Structure 1
Amino acid sequence: MFIRPHISASVTHARLTLSELGYAFDSTNGTLLNTTTGGRYEFEVYPGNKKRNLKLYNMLADAASRHVTELLTSDEIGMQAIAVPEESLAHTSIFITPGALECANLVVLCTGHGPRPGVWAWNVLVKEGLRAGSLIPYIQALHAQGYGVLVMNPNENIVAADGQPETYANIESLGKTTEIRGNETPDEHVGYVWSRFLRDNHAAKNIAFVCYNTAGISVANLLKYDFDRFVQKCVGIAFIDSVHSSFQMTAQQMVWLAHMAKQWETSVEPADEPIENPNIGCPAVSSGNDLEMREMTPFLCKDSVVDFLDEKFQAGHINEAVMVAEANEIEMAGVELVDSIQDANQQAGDEGHSGWAM
């Protein structure tokens, strides 16, 4: 079950590290281990004391998440932190592989509601480790393919009194905070990064997105509200358990989404088996997740997602003539439907019936 960390004021201020809590990620497989016993983390550390166990879990989740963020800029991963909006103001950071913003093919990774940058889900990170709970395997796989990689940071929207970026999950224990200008919400952060680093970046000719959960809404909004410029840049979107909707999209937007995007969903069906989801406007497939934690889905579908991105980069941008032609067909079908309803209303009125409401 997903548990949102709630850190006490003293713990947040101290920002305890994994080492101080007696834990470390195994250097071989990335599992979180107790440095005293050598065993994996288990919730029931203090038998029968749920409050104390939950407090430890929350502290570990926060410390492990911050450790992942630090790993992004380590020699092992080698990413560069870029301050947003800028270092002289209250700010947080996004992360890029070396030269990513000059790469012709760029992949943007965006997590859902809650976690710090580089983390898919707190509970998976603590219970299953770096391989399943962090973005690091995606970053390494995509970088190995020659793509530039940019990691967004949609959840660090405030800065604590000591200048450190924080998430709203900890706001009750932080005291005075400052909102990060232009990045006050996850949606605004995605829009800010798009407009400042991506939209007008002439070097990054082909951009693809990987969006988990609520991040799908933010990226779908780019498609809705900056359509002309978005389709000139974007060659594909990999949604993972996204909760976006194609409702109120134009015909051209729906055609683009149907051709250029794909969703991986938590399902016990075999991996890559088609799944019906009429709300999202694009093909959907199963992640093959038959585990208890739906937050394992990004890890389970990684290889399939990377294959999809490879295909999209090779195929390039949508054929505009095809998009316009298919959109016209959709619009004509809509006109014909309205005409048929009007005809039915007219006939019903002639026969003394009330007809269909328009």
Structure 2
Amino acid sequence: MQKTQWLQIQHELSLRKLIEGSEYQEELKYDFNIKGELRHLDTNESFVFNYYKNAHEQNHKRYQVLGHLITQYVYELLERVCMLQKVYIPTDATEDEPRSFFFMSENALTSSSSLIVLLQDRGVFRAGQWGQRTIVSEGLEHGTQIPFIKMALRSHGGVIVLNPNDNFIDLKTEKARLNFSTREESPTSMQSVWWIPKRGSSSPEEHTMYVWDHFISKSAAKNVAFIAHGYGGLAFVDLLMQRKWEVMNKVYSVAFIDSMHNTQHQTRSDPQIQEWIQKYCHEWVSNSKPLDKAVSSLMKVNCPTVSAGTEKYGLAPSCCLHTIFKYLKSTLKGKTTTAFRHSPVATRSSTSKKRGNK
């Protein structure tokens, strides 16, 4: 993303404003500069974790507050800079029921052009982020999904940004909590009574399936592509198993980035799904090899796997941004009109009948 674009963002929004509204104004004297990098307002240095001497818990709490404020800031960027709409789910939630949400572009469901769905890794971060640590250490360009969103809107028309880690609400703090916490943060039996799961989004898999069932599957887009990072890849393959024919007919391509999916284990030796993954999916992995160079996979059944051009897990998405969209463009161009059938073999006559019914 161009530096000027981050400059435009700075004029409209500021992380500093959010920090000033918290109790950590002095402890967190940071803001994003015109390059989208997090810097100290006085020293211009990058973020320092050890603010308090010999007080890990206090430093961790301070970092958590920063993470929460970055989450709010990215949400604002998605709505006010990327012009995405926040969609609350479940759609039939009662007034006092805990809700989750995701983001989508204005015409994502009504446009017949292709649709790109972003599915992040698991962690404390929320929609619009590839990784919180990466945002803190490397900046918005590398750690957020904004460059992907902008490119998707330019080249494909519609985009949906899933929010798979927004699984629970903590009644004590009324702040959303994540499903996959570190062991130290996991709720005890005493605490867990205060944690209420969000219906339809109590796990990344459930969230992905809910948005698929109620939005993506009903969209006018004939061609849907997924870009899935880390655990997001596992969540996608789970969706593929649960909604086999729907997904195989509507999704034309999947770009995995350091995916945690396991084709053999998850697909339960379903030959049709395994063949579909090999044909319509492509994976980029953190590796010392140059970008796009083939990388051997440990799994016997998998899709073509290439290097992301970096050994750093957190930088993998941003490093392969352009090559992923190049891949999606080429697969869309070469897409065949053959639809997947519930029968093992799609005959020529059945295909022509389908075309005739269009």
Q: TM-score w.r.t. structure 1 length?
A: 0.78
Correspondence for 1:339: none
Does the residue aligned with 1:309 lie in a helix, a strand or coil?
A: helix
Counterpart code for 1:195: D
- In structure 1, C-alpha distance between the alignment counterparts of 2:159 and 2:140, rounded to whole Å: 18
- For residue 105 of structure 2, the aligned residue among 97, 114, 128 is 97
- In structure 2, C-alpha distance between the alignment counterparts of 1:19 and 1:313, rounded to whole Å: 49
Conserved 8 A contact 2:249-2:339: no
Aligned length: 308
Conserved 8 A contact 2:115-2:156: no
- For residue 305 of structure 1, the aligned residue among 324, 327, 341 is 324
Correspondence for 1:330: none
Q: Cα gap change, 1:125/1:321 in structure 2, threshold over 3 Å: closer, same or farther?
A: closer
Conserved 8 A contact 1:17-1:63: no
Is 1:68 aligned to residue 74 of structure 2?
yes
Correspondence for 2:177: 166
Correspondence for 1:261: 281
In the TM superposition, what are the counterparts of 1:241-252 in structure 2 within 5 Å? 241-247=258-264, 248-252=268-272
Q: CA deviation at 1:252?
A: 1.5
Correspondence for 1:281: 302
In the TM superposition, what are the counterparts of 1:1-80 in structure 2 within 5 Å? 16=22, 21-26=28-33, 28-46=34-52, 49-74=55-80, 76-80=81-85
Counterpart code for 1:237: V
Conserved 8 A contact 1:235-1:317: no
- In structure 2, C-alpha distance between the alignment counterparts of 1:29 and 1:321, rounded to whole Å: 46
Q: CA deviation at 1:222?
A: 2.0
Q: CA deviation at 1:111?
A: 0.5
Conserved 8 A contact 1:46-1:53: yes
Is 1:236 aligned to residue 253 of structure 2?
yes
Correspondence for 2:244: 227
- In structure 2, C-alpha distance between the alignment counterparts of 1:109 and 1:321, rounded to whole Å: 24
Q: CA deviation at 1:217?
A: 1.0
Q: Cα gap change, 1:212/1:127 in structure 2, threshold over 3 Å: closer, same or farther?
A: same
Counterpart code for 2:178: T
- For residue 120 of structure 1, the aligned residue among 118, 130, 147 is 130
Aligned-residue RMSD, C-alpha = 2.8
Percent identity over the alignment?
27
Counterpart code for 2:145: L
Conserved 8 A contact 1:224-1:249: no
Question: Which has the larger Rg?
Answer: 1
Conserved 8 A contact 1:18-1:64: no
Correspondence for 2:211: 193
**1:263-310 residue CA offsets vs partner (Å, 9 max, x unmatched):** 0001011110001114262000001114xx411111111111111111
- In structure 2, C-alpha distance between the alignment counterparts of 1:43 and 1:200, rounded to whole Å: 45
Select between 15-24 and 112-121 the one with higher mean Cα deviation. 15-24
- In structure 2, C-alpha distance between the alignment counterparts of 1:253 and 1:228, rounded to whole Å: 9
Does the residue aligned with 1:274 lie in a helix, a strand or coil?
A: coil
- In structure 2, C-alpha distance between the alignment counterparts of 1:191 and 1:321, rounded to whole Å: 20
- In structure 1, C-alpha distance between the alignment counterparts of 2:23 and 2:221, rounded to whole Å: 37
Q: Cα gap change, 1:325/1:174 in structure 2, threshold over 3 Å: closer, same or farther?
A: closer
- In structure 1, C-alpha distance between the alignment counterparts of 2:329 and 2:24, rounded to whole Å: 36
Gaps spanning 5+ residues in structure 2: where?
A: 1-19, 347-358
